[in-house]
Amino acid sequence: MPTCPDGLPYHASTGGAAVVGDGKSTITYYPMGAKVSHLASHTTCSIYLPITNPPSKTAKLMRVQVECEGEHGGKITEACIFFGHHHVLTTNMNVHSDFEIFPGVGARLPNSQPFGTNVTFKLSLPNHNSFVNIMSMALGFGDEHHPDYSQHIPSETQVVVSE
C-alpha cells in the first residue's frame, strides 16, 4: 500500500508496535508490527494506536490508510478517531486486509488540539485461532483545494479495501 503518493502535504503515522490493548486480547509484538489474537472468553476487543499531531494545525483529515491482515475470522469491525478528547470519526466496517478510509465532509476537521491523536479499532476474533496483524497506519492531512490532491471528496465517509 503506498504511503505518500496521495498528494497530501502532511502525514502522521505509526507502526504496529504502538498497539495498546484493552486487556481482552493477547498482543505479540514483532519487527513488522503487532499480532492481536483471541484471549479465552473474549471474542471482541479494542486496540488503540496513538499518533502524533501533523505539523499543520489547519490541515484537515483527508485519508486514513491501514496496513493489516486478519486470519481465521479475525477482522476489524469499527474505527474511531479522536483528536485529543474531540471525537472526529466513527465508521463501521468488516475488513481483514489493508484498507483506506476517506472521511466525509463532516469528519474533515483540522487537528488543532495540542493533544495527540488516538485511533481505536474494534476487532472481532470469533475463533480460538483468530488474529489480526497491524503493520502500520497513516493519517493524511490537507486541504480540499490543494492542487495536488485530486481525490473526490465524499459527502459520507467511505471505506475502500485493497485487493
Quick: pLDDT tens for 129-140.
Answer: 999 999 999 998
Instruction: At 10, list the grid cell.
Output: 502532511
Q: How far apart are CA 153 and CA 8, in angstroms?
A: 13
**pLDDT at residue number 4:** 54
Q: How far apart are CA 23 and CA 108, in angstroms?
A: 31
Which segments of the chain are extended strands (E)? 10-15, 20-21, 25-30, 33-38, 44-51, 60-71, 75-83, 86-95, 97-102, 117-124, 131-142, 158-161
Predicted structure pTM score? 0.87
Name the band, by pLDDT with cuts 50, 70 and 90, for residue 152: low
> Which of helix, strand or coil describes residue 137?
strand
**pLDDT at residue number 153:** 60
- From the candidate CATH numbers 1.10.287, 2.60.120, 1.10.3470, 3.40.720, the one assigned to the domain spanning 15-161: 2.60.120
Model confidence pLDDT, tens digit, residues 93-105: 999 999 998 888 7
Which residues lie closer than 8 Å to 22 by C-beta, 6 or more apart? Answer: 45, 46, 47, 48
Contact (CB, 8 A) for 33 and 97? no
| Averaged pLDDT score across all residues of the chain | 85
* The pLDDT of residue 119 is above 60: yes
Mean pLDDT of 17-35: 95
* Pairing label, strands 75-83, 131-142: unpaired
Q: How far apart are CA 4 and CA 18, in angstroms?
A: 20
Mean pLDDT of 41-66: 88
Contact (CB, 8 A) for 76 and 44? no
